Amino acid sequence: MKHPLSLVVAVVLALGISSGACAQSEITLLSPDPIKATIEKLVSDFEAKTGTQVKITYGTGVSTRKTVASGQALDVSLLFAPFPEALKTGNIVPSSATVIARLRLALAVQKGAPKPDISTPAAVKRTLLDAKSIISVDPTQGSVGGIALLTLDKLGITDQVKPKIKWVQNGGLVQESVAKGETEIALGPYVSDMRNPGLDVVGPLPPDASTPVDITGFLSNSVKDPKAAKALLDYLSSHEAAPAYEAAKIFPAH
């Protein structure tokens, strides 16, 4: 009787060790700062569901692209489009590209100020041409500045509007300047952290005026646990994750 019992105990112990090893699996995630609060909530939910631990590293929309372009992609890397330099390095798997959600460029004014019309591309064009001053994040510091420039190009008003845009280091300075009445219009991401109490966020610009920005996830070529990393990427792009994006004024991919 002792032998079969010992065998059962050994199997149970082995299964326990195996289960514990799975539960302690850890993967790494690279994410842009503007979506930090939402990503932390979703990752927490994912960890609770799967037992997989996720170590997150944050950077700006620009610095995360540079991190991947320099060959330092994490197991899962989330990037704001466009990212041609990151793709050239070969350290992320192009076929793994998964759009998890989309960001839109928003316009904000000082609290209580008249809200300009941004309902159509023509209205956005008039609003930006008529504005005395505009502020946004320096394109070399954050993705939103690049999105703003692409919007001006799309509307065909770059030469007229660009000279009156003040570029600053981060979104906090953008919001503060408009809240104080120093600048008339803020161009920033339509996310929940654009919530300075001195601002009125008019809303996101229509897609025909400003192309929504894909937040795209990639798997690394050197990922140690491809199954867990793929599961995280799938969860971040799932219908189950959509309410968290919507609550943060981010647009789900589906």
Q: Which of 87, 106, 105, 98 is nearest to 221 (CA)?
A: 87
For 157, the token pair is: 């008003």
pLDDT of residue 21: 40
Hey, what CATH topology would domain 24-102+214-252 get?
A: D-Maltodextrin-Binding Protein; domain 2 (3.40.190)
What global pTM score does this model have? 0.82
Query: Kind and range of the H or E element at 202?
Result: strand 199-204
| Domain range annotation of the chain | 24-102+214-252, 105-204
pLDDT tops 60 at residue 2: no
Domains 24-102+214-252 and 105-204 share a fold: yes
pLDDT per residue as tens digits for the range 152-162: 999 999 999 99
pLDDT tops 80 at residue 101: yes
Hey, what CATH topology would domain 105-204 get?
A: D-Maltodextrin-Binding Protein; domain 2 (3.40.190)
Q: Helix, strand, coil % (nearest 5) of the chain?
A: 45, 25, 30
Confidence label for 4 from pLDDT (cuts 50, 70 and 90): low
pLDDT tops 80 at residue 230: yes
pLDDT of residue 212: 94
